[in-house]
Structure 1
Amino acid sequence: MTSLGGAQMVDWNLAVATAARLGRPGPEVSREEARGIVAELRRHAKVSEEHVRGFTRLAPANPEVADTPVLVVDRPGWVRANVAGFRELLSPLLSKVEERRTGMPGGAVLGAVGGKVTGVEVGMLLSFLSSRVLGQYETFAPAGRDLPGGADGGGRLLLVAPNIVHVERELEVDPHDFRLWVCLHEETHRTQFTAVPWLRDHLRMEIQSFMEQTDIDPSTLLERLREAVQSLSGGKPGEGQEGEGAEQPEGEEERPSLVELVQTPAQREVLGRLTAVMSLLEGHADYVMDGVGPQVVPTVTEIREKFQKRRATGAGRLDLALRKLLGLDAKLRQYRDGERFVRTVVDEVGMEGFNRVWTSPNTLPTKAEIAKPAEWIARVHRKTD
C-alpha cells in the first residue's frame, strides 16, 4: 500500500489504521481456545467441500484454481484483505477521477487532503462491517505477502473467527454446529466460482461498467446528493406521492437508500443486473447450507431460527439506521429472495434443472425473474425440452 507514492484519491494506509483504531475488540478467549477455534474452522472448511459439491452437483472446472486458500482471520485481517480487493476494483474509477483532478487549480492539494478524508471514511465503514461479517469468499483477491490468493487470480476464503464466536455465544447455540454451518455457506460461494469459470469475469465486467457510469462532476454529484437527502427526509415529495402518512402499497419496494439515490440512471440499470446475480449467489448459499445441514449439523433448525431472527432485527436502533443508510437492508433481502428463487426452481425442475443457471450469463436470472421464478423456468426450460 505504500509503494504507489504521491497523493492518492484514497489513503489506503489511513483507511486500515482508522478501522483498526475504531474497531471493537473481539470476544475474550484464551490463547489455547483461540488455537482450537482456528483449527476447527479449518477442518470444517475442508469437510464442507465434499458436502457442498455432493449436494449441488457442481465440480471445479480447474483443480488448480479450485485450490484457493482458506484464511482464518481476525477483524483487522479482514479489513486488510478487503482494502486490497477494493484497491484492485476501484483502480479504474480512481484513475478517472485523478485525470479530472490533474487539470484543476490546486488539484494536488485537494488530492492530498481528499485522500486523507476518503481514507478515514473508508476506514469508518470497514470498522463498522468488520464486526459483522462471519465469512467471505473474496472473488477479487490480489495475492500479497501476508494475504495469499488462488492460482491465476483465483479468490480466497476468509473466516472471521472473532465474529463467529461472538454470534454463537449471543445466540447460545452449539458452537461446533454453528461453525460448520457457517463454513457450508462460505464454501458454497467458493464452489460457485471454481465450478463456473466465467462467473468471476462476468461480475468484474458488470462492476467496471457500473463504475464507468459514475458521474464525477462535483456539482452534479452534490445536486444529486441534495435531492437524495430531501427524498429520504420527505422534504421533496416525488411524483404521484399521496402525501405524508400514506401507506406503502403491498408488494411495492421500500424507499431506496441514500447509496441508491445518488446513482445515475445507467448505474441503476447495471445495479439491477448485479442485484439479481448477488441474490442468486447468496440465496443459493443459504439453500445449500440448510439442505446439507440436517445431515451433518444436528441443531441446524435451532441455529436457522435464531439466526434469521437476529438478521431481521439487527443489533440495535443505531445498527438498523446504518444498515438502511448504507443499503445493507438490500443485502438481507438478497438472502431471502434468492433462497426462495432457488428453492422454487429446484422443487420444479430438480437440481440438474436449476444448474442450467450456470450455463452462461444469458441463463442468469433477471431481477424480475428472481421475484418470479416461473418466468426463469419458462425462459430457460423451453417446451422443446
Structure 2
Amino acid sequence: MTSIGGAEMVDWNLAVATATRLVRPGPEVSRDEARAVVAELRRHAKASERHVRGFTGLGTDEAHDTPVLVVDRPGWVRANVAGFREVLRPLLEKMQERRGSTPGGAVLGAVGGKVTGVELGMLLSFLASRVLGQYETFAPATRDLPAGANGGGRLLLVAPNIVHVERELDVQPHDFRLWVCLHEETHRTQFTAVPWLRDHLEGEIQSFLEETDVDPMTILERIREAAQSLAGGRPEGEEGDEGGRSIVELVQTPAQREVLGRLTAVMSLLEGHADFVMDGVGPDVVPSVEEIREKFQQRRAKGASRLDTALRKLLGLDAKLRQYRDGERFVRAVVEQVGMEGFNRVWTSPNTLPTKAEIAAPAEWIARVHRKPEA
C-alpha cells in the first residue's frame, strides 16, 4: 500500500505478530496425532467434494485446482490479514489521503498504524480460536498461501479448533471432521462452480467502501472498543446496551444501506446453503450426524461466556448466526417447492440472487425467478 510519511493506516505485520503472540494455544496433541488429524482432514475434504457435487448438482473441474490448506491458528491469522489488506486497500488509501492533508498527519499515522495493528491483532487472536474452516477468496496468491489456477481462493481447515470442538462436544472425531468438511467444501463448490460470484462479492464490498465517509478516528475508536472488551475494559453492563454498535455497522448513507442489505442476503444464502447441504449429505455419510448437529447448535446458540456474548455483538457475529438460520430456511423452502434444479437458478447471475426481503419470504423469490413469461 502506498504510504504517506512512510506509515500505513494499519501496521499489518504488527497485527499478525500481536495475534500470533496472544492467540490461545491449541489442544494438546502428540506429533503423531497432529499428523493423523491433518491427513484425515485432507481425505475428508477430498471425499466431501464428491458428496457435495452429487447432492447439489454443482461443480466444475476448477475445484480440483483450488488448494485445501490445513492450518493452525497463526496460519488462519496470516491468511485473513492478507485478505483484509487486499479488500480494505481502497478505503485505507482514501483515509490515508485525508490524514495526509491534516497538520501532523504523518506523525499521527506512524503512531496510529501501530496502535491499530495491535488492536486488530487482539481481535484476530480472539477469532482465531473459534473458526473451524473458511473459504478464503480475496488474498493474493503467494508461496505460503497458494490459490486456484484461475484466480480462485483456497479452503482453510483450522485443525486445532476442530479438535478442540470435537472434544468439547464429546462427539465421534472422525464423524465430526467429515461433517465440518462438508460445510466448508460447499463454500468451495459455490465459488468454483459459480465463476462470477467472487467478482460480484468484491464489487459489492468495494461499492460499500467507496461510499464510506468516516473520519479515521471513528473507525479506530470502533476497533478500540472491541479491544477494550477483549481485555475486560468495558464498563459493567455496557454489553447489553441497545445503543451499542458492531464494527460492521458503519453505514452512513442510504446507498450503503442498500449495498449492506444485498451483502447480507448473499451471505445468508451462502451460509444457509452450506448448512442445508451439510444436513442433506450428513445422514448418508456421517453415522452420528444427529448427535453432532444437536450439540453443535446448542454450542453455537449459547456462546462460551458473558465476555464472548459481548464480543459477538460488537463484532457483528450475532448477525452471522442469524444468517445461518435464515439462509437455511430459505434454501429448504425453495428446494421443497421447486427442487434442487429449480433452486440452482439462484446461481444464474447476480440478478437471480435473493434480496434480503426474499430471504425472509422464499415464495417471493420463487415467484420472481420462476414466473412464466407472459404470452
Shift of 1:105: 1.2
SS state of the match for residue 88, structure 2? helix
SS state of the match for residue 142, structure 2? coil
CA contact (8 A) 1:215 1:221 kept: no
Matched with 1:20 is 20
Matched with 1:166 is 164
Shift of 1:102: 1.8
| In structure 2, C-alpha distance between the alignment counterparts of 1:217 and 1:348, rounded to whole Å | 48
Matched with 2:360 is 371
Q: Tell me the amino acid that sits aligned with residue 343 of structure 2.
A: F
Matched with 1:341 is 330
Q: How does 1:275-354 map to 2 (within 5 A)?
A: 275-354=264-343
The change in CA–CA distance for 1:8 and 1:273 in structure 2 (over 3 A counts) is same
Matched with 2:247 is 259
SS state of the match for residue 110, structure 2? helix
| In structure 1, C-alpha distance between the alignment counterparts of 2:30 and 2:4, rounded to whole Å | 39
The change in CA–CA distance for 1:324 and 1:224 in structure 2 (over 3 A counts) is closer
Q: Mean alpha-carbon deviation: is it higher for 9-18 or for 212-221? A: 212-221
Q: How does 1:148-163 map to 2 (within 5 A)?
A: 148-163=146-161
TM-score normalised by length of structure 1: 0.88
| In structure 2, C-alpha distance between the alignment counterparts of 1:261 and 1:49, rounded to whole Å | 35
Q: How does 1:1-385 map to 2 (within 5 A)?
A: 6-60=6-60, 63-64=61-62, 66-217=64-215, 257-259=245-247, 261-265=249-253, 266-384=255-373
Identity %: 82
The change in CA–CA distance for 1:134 and 1:196 in structure 2 (over 3 A counts) is same
Shift of 1:24: 0.2
The change in CA–CA distance for 1:162 and 1:5 in structure 2 (over 3 A counts) is farther
Cα deviation digits, residues 315-354 of structure 1 (max 9, x gap): 1111011101111100000000000000000000000000
Shift of 1:272: 0.6
CA contact (8 A) 1:73 1:159 kept: yes
Cα deviation digits, residues 161-216 of structure 1 (max 9, x gap): 00000000000000000000000000000000011011000000000011111113
Q: Tell me the amino acid that sits aligned with residue 122 of structure 1.
A: L
| In structure 2, C-alpha distance between the alignment counterparts of 1:89 and 1:182, rounded to whole Å | 27
| In structure 2, C-alpha distance between the alignment counterparts of 1:381 and 1:199, rounded to whole Å | 21
SS state of the match for residue 32, structure 1? helix
Cα deviation digits, residues 198-257 of structure 1 (max 9, x gap): 1000000000011111113358879999xxxxxxx9xxxxxxxxxxxxxxxxxxxx9773
CA contact (8 A) 1:65 1:151 kept: no
| In structure 2, C-alpha distance between the alignment counterparts of 1:193 and 1:324, rounded to whole Å | 28
CA contact (8 A) 1:139 1:200 kept: yes
Consecutive unaligned residues in structure 1, runs of 5 or more = 226-232, 234-253
The change in CA–CA distance for 1:221 and 1:44 in structure 2 (over 3 A counts) is closer
Shift of 1:383: 3.3
Shift of 1:97: 1.2
The change in CA–CA distance for 1:372 and 1:108 in structure 2 (over 3 A counts) is same
TM-score normalised by length of structure 2: 0.90
CA contact (8 A) 2:162 2:177 kept: yes
Q: CA RMSD in A?
A: 2.4
CA contact (8 A) 2:56 2:340 kept: yes
SS state of the match for residue 59, structure 2? coil
Matched with 1:236 is none
Shift of 1:35: 0.2
| In structure 2, C-alpha distance between the alignment counterparts of 1:180 and 1:220, rounded to whole Å | 43
CA contact (8 A) 1:141 1:156 kept: no
| In structure 1, C-alpha distance between the alignment counterparts of 2:49 and 2:193, rounded to whole Å | 12
The change in CA–CA distance for 1:172 and 1:112 in structure 2 (over 3 A counts) is same
| In structure 2, C-alpha distance between the alignment counterparts of 1:85 and 1:50, rounded to whole Å | 28
Q: Tell me the amino acid that sits aligned with residue 106 of structure 1.
A: G
The change in CA–CA distance for 1:26 and 1:4 in structure 2 (over 3 A counts) is farther
Q: Mean alpha-carbon deviation: is it higher for 64-73 or for 45-54? A: 64-73
CA contact (8 A) 2:95 2:216 kept: no
CA contact (8 A) 2:8 2:113 kept: yes
Shift of 1:141: 2.6
The change in CA–CA distance for 1:65 and 1:57 in structure 2 (over 3 A counts) is closer
Shift of 1:264: 0.8
